[in-house]
């Protein structure tokens, strides 16, 4: 918990200038994957316009990549930058939770 | 149903000594097996050994999926058991896949599944062509992900998926309240469930294993002790279920001549169990040592488990009865294992003895004394342990001598619990008469052989244990000095009788000599008389002849004077 607070304090003043590097792991064209891609695109456009990059990785095509980011659940969104790393699983339909998970909103 | 059970299911040997015997061949091949138990019970180790033995014994590559421990930690932990994971990994036979689930890093934001896990497992399996897989432990998933409904359905899917891929899988699980696992899921979807237990009773730890469930296989529901040592896990498949051990009719010496004599003159049966019970100082250990010495004389190996004395103490003490065990220790014919009973739990003792006997392959074993185990377990437990031990020894045709220290006055009841397991029961007693203590031995039972019903006195001499007949006097059996006194008396009496006989013999001789002297004198007398009579007889005969001559002369003279001569005769003259 204390760890969390420190990170919030560190990030708050600089978060606007940061560049966001995101990865979305999916497995084939499942309804959940398609929903996640759409939800992520909408969210980034709304909140991070111009300072983000999203890489969509299909593990069916590249299974060896699942190991590096410790992927279990599909879909998983990984915030690689800014640090620390964050993971959000699910189809990102609950936007409020996504924002909390990405530390864009304080946890409540 | 019938055909299915007759055919049986395919088994994947675990390679863990004892476990394959209990499960009749190993874990179900191509199906998931759950190993569950509380923390520190050896789940991870058993799973790892299953994988490593699969590689080394059967050449089946395996994947170890660790959710908790880091691969480096795991590698280090099992190195002490002789498993070189790095080497196996280099050879491409083993793959350790570390799956980290950190709840604080994860936010759930809607629908998801665990396809990522499947992909990772599938990738790991394919990359080395694995036949076996271990998941240690799935519970971490429940800790890391909050949607239990998704997890449950995904785990069902995972087990199904593993089966479809034909993987022999081992899943470990933490034991939960009321359930075998915390979430009560894995045990229902596994084909085989092994429960490990690490109990601490009276500050002593014992490890046990039980096969809770095994679809399509008959399995014992007993608890089996197991051991983790420098060679990995070892399960003791020893139970008291089977009474199928062969009974030998071969007889072996007890090492004590008088005792062999009491047992039909030929000693114990090979492979039988012998109980020697008695109070402290009754001579139990001495009998045991002679038994060991007799084995050595036959060129057989022996193990002496001492639970009261150290090796050097026993060796020194046996020298006092003229038995030097040291050379046989040096030659490796005899092994000593001295340990305090309280050092381990009963199971551990059992396992240790089992291993030592299996490794050394003795023909003769001494356990001195069994009573000390009562300090680590109750009578029932000790009996159960002995039963397993005896069955094991009998199956190996090992002749075993147990000593039992009895207390109190009622000597025999203390041993009743264990005596039923024994083939031969020797009771040593001490009696105190005339200010001295003496030892007595009798054979209470000896299955399948004629044995003496008499009491013998046991003497600890400089030439070993000797059994001598006791004297039955008016006041009961005589032992010790009383017996010696009695013997001296008898010797004196015997000597007296002997002297009497001698004297009578001499008297007879003397009489015979006197008689003969008389006979000789009379013969001499007779001879002298005979000579005289004969000469007299000759004289008489000579006189008679002269008389006849004289008459003839007279007649002749008379004829010539008065008348004609008689016919013929007159002419000559």
The domain that contains B348 carries what CATH number? 3.40.50.300
Indicate whether B208 belongs to any domain.
yes
Cα B201 to Cα B383: distance, rounded to the nearest angstrom: 17
Considering CB atoms only, which of B111, B115, B123 is closest to A90?
A: B111
| Residue B117 sits at the chain A interface (C-beta within 8 Å) | yes
- My answer on whether B225 and B351 are in the same domain is no
Window 21-40 of A, Cβ < 8 Å to B: 25, 27, 30, 32, 35-36
| Residue B149 sits at the chain A interface (C-beta within 8 Å) | no
**Does B110 sit within 8 Å of A91, measured CB to CB?**
yes
A104 neighbors A97 (Cβ within 8 angstroms): no
B398 neighbors B358 (Cβ within 8 angstroms): no
Indicate whether B193 belongs to any domain.
yes
In DSSP terms, B98 is beta-bridged to B66
- Contact partners, residue B415, CB within 8 Å, separation at least 6: B275, B277, B404, B406, B425
Place of tokens 């007595």: B440
Question: What total of structural domains would you count in chain B?
Answer: 3
Q: Report DSSP letters for B519-569, one per residue.
A: HHHHHHHHHHHHHHHHHHHHHHHHHHHHHHHHHHHHHHHHHHHSSPPPTTH
- My answer on whether B259 and B216 are in the same domain is no
Q: Is B68 a catalytic residue?
A: yes
Q: Tell me what pLDDT residue B475 has.
A: 56
| Closest among B405, B385, B404, B403 to B393, alpha carbons compared | B385
In DSSP terms, B473 is beta-bridged to B476
Indicate whether A106 belongs to any domain.
no
Cα B21 to Cα B351: distance, rounded to the nearest angstrom: 16
Cα A11 to Cα B472: distance, rounded to the nearest angstrom: 105
Question: What total of structural domains would you count in chain A?
Answer: 1
Distance from CA of A10 to the nearest CA of B (A): 17
| Residue A78 sits at the chain B interface (C-beta within 8 Å) | no
**Does A101 sit within 8 Å of B110, measured CB to CB?**
no
Shortest CA distance from B116: residue in chain A? A72
Q: Which domain holds residue B176?
A: 2-235
Indicate whether B570 belongs to any domain.
no
**How many inter-chain contacts (A to B, CB under 8 Å) are there?**
99
List Cα–Cα distances, B212 to A14, B219, B494, in angstroms.
58, 9, 76
Considering CB atoms only, which of B101, B109, B117 is closest to A93?
A: B109
| Closest among B49, B42, B40, B66 to B13, alpha carbons compared | B49
Backbone φ and ψ of B157, nearest 5°: -65, -40
Cα B338 to Cα B189: distance, rounded to the nearest angstrom: 47
Q: Tell me what pLDDT residue B435 has.
A: 79
Indicate whether B240 belongs to any domain.
no
| Residue B100 sits at the chain A interface (C-beta within 8 Å) | yes
**Does B116 sit within 8 Å of A90, measured CB to CB?**
no
- My answer on whether B426 and B344 are in the same domain is yes
**Does A66 sit within 8 Å of B119, measured CB to CB?**
yes
Indicate whether A8 belongs to any domain.
no
Counting Cα atoms < 13 Å in the Cβ hemisphere of B393 gives 30
Q: How open is the CA angle B542-B548-B553, to the nearest 5 degrees?
A: 125
- My answer on whether B295 and B350 are in the same domain is yes
B514 neighbors B522 (Cβ within 8 angstroms): no
Q: How open is the CA angle B264-B269-B274, to the nearest 5 degrees?
A: 95
| Residue B65 sits at the chain A interface (C-beta within 8 Å) | no
CB atoms within 10 A of CB B162: 21
- My answer on whether B189 and B264 are in the same domain is no
**Does A64 sit within 8 Å of B112, measured CB to CB?**
no
- My answer on whether B158 and B261 are in the same domain is no
B41 neighbors B208 (Cβ within 8 angstroms): no
Confidence class for position A11, pLDDT limits 50, 70, 90: very low
Confidence class for position A9, pLDDT limits 50, 70, 90: very low
Angle between helices B311-319 and B284-297 in degrees, nearest 10: 90
Q: Mean pLDDT across the stretch A15-29?
A: 84
Q: Tell me what pLDDT residue B3 has.
A: 36
Q: Tell me what pLDDT residue B303 has.
A: 92
| Closest among B253, B296, B273, B308 to B426, alpha carbons compared | B273
B417 neighbors B402 (Cβ within 8 angstroms): no
CATH of the domain at A87: 3.40.30.10
3-class SS string, B62-112:
EEEEECCCCHHHHHHHHHCCCCCHHHHHHCCCEEEEECCCCHHHEEECCCC
- My answer on whether B443 and B531 are in the same domain is no
Q: Tell me what pLDDT residue B438 has.
A: 83
Contacts of A60 in chain B (CB under 8 A): 119
- Virtual torsion, Cα B198, B199, B203, B205, nearest 10 deg: -40
Q: Which domain holds residue A82?
A: 21-101
Confidence class for position A82, pLDDT limits 50, 70, 90: confident
Considering CB atoms only, which of A72, A97, A100 is closest to B99?
A: A72
B173 neighbors B138 (Cβ within 8 angstroms): yes
Q: Tell me what pLDDT residue B411 has.
A: 53
- Contact partners, residue B528, CB within 8 Å, separation at least 6: none
Indicate whether B571 belongs to any domain.
no
**Strand stretches in chain A, DSSP E:** 20-26, 52-58, 76-81, 86-89
| Residue B566 sits at the chain A interface (C-beta within 8 Å) | no
Indicate whether A43 belongs to any domain.
yes
- My answer on whether B281 and B305 are in the same domain is yes
Residues B286-314: b if buried by 16+ CB within 10 A, e if exposed: bbbbbbbbbbbeeebbbbbbbbbeebeeb
Contacts of B109 in chain A (CB under 8 A): 88-94, 97-98, 101
Kindly give the residue spans of alpha helices, DSSP state H, lying in B208-310.
Answer: 257-262, 284-297
Catalytic site residue from B21, B261, B308, B309: B308
Shortest CA distance from B114: residue in chain A? A73
Tell me which of B469, B488, B505 is where a domain ends.
Answer: B469
**Does A67 sit within 8 Å of B120, measured CB to CB?**
yes
- My answer on whether B384 and B482 are in the same domain is no
**Does A94 sit within 8 Å of B114, measured CB to CB?**
no
Tell me which of B469, B500, B521 is where a domain ends.
Answer: B469
| Residue A1 sits at the chain B interface (C-beta within 8 Å) | no
Distance from CA of A49 to the nearest CA of B (A): 21
Indicate whether A64 belongs to any domain.
yes
Indicate whether B514 belongs to any domain.
yes
| Residue B106 sits at the chain A interface (C-beta within 8 Å) | yes
Q: What are the tokens at B53? A: 């033995």
| Residue B73 sits at the chain A interface (C-beta within 8 Å) | no
Tell me which of B443, B469, B495 is where a domain ends.
Answer: B469
| Residue B120 sits at the chain A interface (C-beta within 8 Å) | yes
Q: Tell me what pLDDT residue A78 has.
A: 92
- My answer on whether B74 and B112 are in the same domain is yes
Indicate whether A1 belongs to any domain.
no
Cis peptide bond N-terminal to A75, omega within 30: yes
Indicate whether B565 belongs to any domain.
no
Cα B83 to Cα B386: distance, rounded to the nearest angstrom: 33
- My answer on whether B299 and B342 are in the same domain is yes
| Residue A71 sits at the chain B interface (C-beta within 8 Å) | yes
Q: What is the CA radius of gyration of chain A?
A: 14
Indicate whether A5 belongs to any domain.
no
B440 neighbors B430 (Cβ within 8 angstroms): yes
Indicate whether A58 belongs to any domain.
yes
Indicate whether A7 belongs to any domain.
no
pLDDT per residue as tens digits for the range B127-178: 999 999 999 988 888 888 888 888 889 989 999 999 999 999 999 988 877 7
Q: What are the tokens at B507? A: 């008297």
Cα B1 to Cα A57: distance, rounded to the nearest angstrom: 48
- My answer on whether B290 and B427 are in the same domain is yes
Backbone φ and ψ of B421, nearest 5°: -85, -15
Contacts of A35 in chain B (CB under 8 A): 110-111
| Residue B59 sits at the chain A interface (C-beta within 8 Å) | no
At residue A12, does pLDDT exceed 50? no
Residues of chain B with pLDDT under 70: 1-8, 201-205, 220, 237-245, 375-377, 407-417, 472-477, 561-573
Shortest CA distance from B107: residue in chain A? A88
**Does A93 sit within 8 Å of B113, measured CB to CB?**
no
Indicate whether B569 belongs to any domain.
no
List Cα–Cα distances, A11 to A46, A84, B245, in angstroms.
19, 10, 76
Q: What is the strand order of the sheet B399-405 is part of? A: B334-338, B302-306, B364-368, B399-405, B273-278, B424-433, B436-446, B456-461, B464-469
Considering CB atoms only, which of B104, B109, B141 is closest to A98?
A: B109
Backbone φ and ψ of B50, nearest 5°: -55, -40
Contacts of A88 in chain B (CB under 8 A): 106-109
B18 neighbors B49 (Cβ within 8 angstroms): no
B17 neighbors B53 (Cβ within 8 angstroms): no
Q: What are the tokens at B208? A: 């046990």
Q: Is B308 a catalytic residue?
A: yes
At residue A16, does pLDDT exceed 60? no
């Amino acid at each position: 918990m204390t760890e969390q607070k420190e990170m919030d304090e560190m990030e708050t003043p600089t978060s606007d200038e940061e560049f966001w590097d995101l990865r979305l792991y999916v497995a084939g064209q499942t309804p959940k994957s398609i929903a996640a891609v759409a939800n992520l695109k909408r969210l980034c456009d709304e909140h991070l316009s111009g300072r983000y990059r999203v890489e969509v990785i299909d593990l069916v095509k590249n299974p060896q990549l699942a190991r590096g980011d410790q992927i279990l659940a599909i879909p998983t969104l990984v915030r690689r930058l800014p640090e620390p790393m964050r993971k959000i699983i699910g189809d990102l339909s609950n936007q409020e939770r996504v924002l909390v998970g990405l530390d864009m909103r304080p946890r409540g | 149903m019938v055909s299915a059970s007759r055919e049986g299911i395919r088994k994947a040997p675990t390679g863990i000594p004892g476990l394959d015997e209990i499960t009749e061949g190993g874990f179900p091949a191509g199906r998931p097996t759950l190993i569950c138990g509380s923390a520190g019970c050896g789940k991870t180790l058993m799973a790892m050994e299953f994988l490593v033995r699969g590689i080394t014994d059967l050449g089946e590559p395996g994947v170890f999926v660790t959710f908790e421990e880091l691969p480096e930690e795991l590698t280090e932990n099992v190195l002490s058991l002789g498993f070189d994971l790095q080497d196996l990994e280099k050879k491409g036979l083993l793959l350790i896949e570390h799956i980290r689930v950190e709840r604080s890093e994860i936010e759930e934001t809607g629908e998801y599944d665990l396809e990522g896990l499947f992909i990772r497992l599938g990738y790991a399996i394919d990359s080395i062509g694995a036949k076996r897989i271990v998941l240690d432990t799935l519970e971490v998933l429940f800790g890391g992900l909050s949607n239990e409904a998704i997890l449950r359905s995904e785990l069902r899917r995972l087990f199904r998926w593993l089966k479809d891929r034909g993987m022999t899988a081992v899943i470990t699980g933490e034991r939960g309240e009321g359930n075998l696992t915390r979430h009560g899921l894995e045990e229902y979807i596994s084909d085989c469930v092994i429960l490990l237990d690490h109990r601490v009773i009276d500050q002593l730890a014992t490890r046990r294993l039980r096969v809770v469930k095994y679809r399509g296989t008959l399995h014992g529901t007993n608890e089996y002790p197991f051991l983790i040592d420098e060679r990995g896990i070892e399960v003791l498949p020893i139970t008291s279920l089977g009474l199928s051990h062969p009974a030998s009719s071969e007889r072996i010496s007890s090492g004590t001549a008088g005792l062999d004599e009491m047992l039909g003159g030929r000693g114990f049966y090979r492979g039988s169990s012998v109980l020697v019970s008695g109070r402290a100082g009754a001579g139990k250990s001495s009998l045991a040592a002679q038994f060991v010495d007799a084995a050595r004389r036959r060129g057989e190996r022996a193990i002496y488990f001492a639970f009261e004395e150290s090796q050097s103490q026993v060796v020194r003490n046996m020298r006092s009865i003229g038995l030097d065990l040291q050379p046989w220790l040096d030659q490796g014919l005899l092994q000593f294992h001295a340990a305090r009973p309280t050092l381990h739990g009963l199971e551990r003792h059992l396992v240790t003895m089992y291993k030592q006997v299996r490794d050394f392959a003795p023909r003769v074993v001494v356990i001195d004394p069994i009573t000390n185990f009562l300090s680590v377990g109750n009578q029932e437990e000790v009996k159960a342990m002995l039963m397993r031990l005896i069955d094991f020894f009998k199956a190996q045709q090992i002749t075993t001598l147990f000593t039992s220290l009895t207390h109190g006055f009622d000597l025999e009841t203390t041993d009743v619990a264990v005596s039923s397991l024994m083939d031969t029961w020797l009771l040593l007693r001490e009696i105190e008469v005339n200010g001295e203590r003496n030892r007595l031995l009798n054979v209470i039972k000896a299955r399948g052989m004629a044995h003496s019903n008499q009491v013998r006195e046991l003497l600890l001499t400089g030439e070993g244990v000797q059994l001598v007949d006791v004297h039955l006097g008016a006041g009961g059996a005589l032992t010790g000095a009383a017996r010696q006194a009695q013997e001296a008396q008898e010797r004196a009496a015997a000597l007296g009788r002997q002297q009497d006989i001698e004297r009578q013999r001499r008297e007879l001789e003397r009489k015979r000599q006197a008689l003969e002297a008389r006979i000789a004198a009379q013969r001499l007398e007779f001879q002298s008389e005979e000579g005289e009579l004969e000469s007299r007889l000759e004289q008489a005969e000579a006189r008679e002849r002269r008389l006849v001559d004289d008459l003839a002369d007279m007649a002749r003279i008379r004829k010539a004077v008065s008348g004609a001569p008689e016919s013929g005769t007159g002419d000559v003259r």
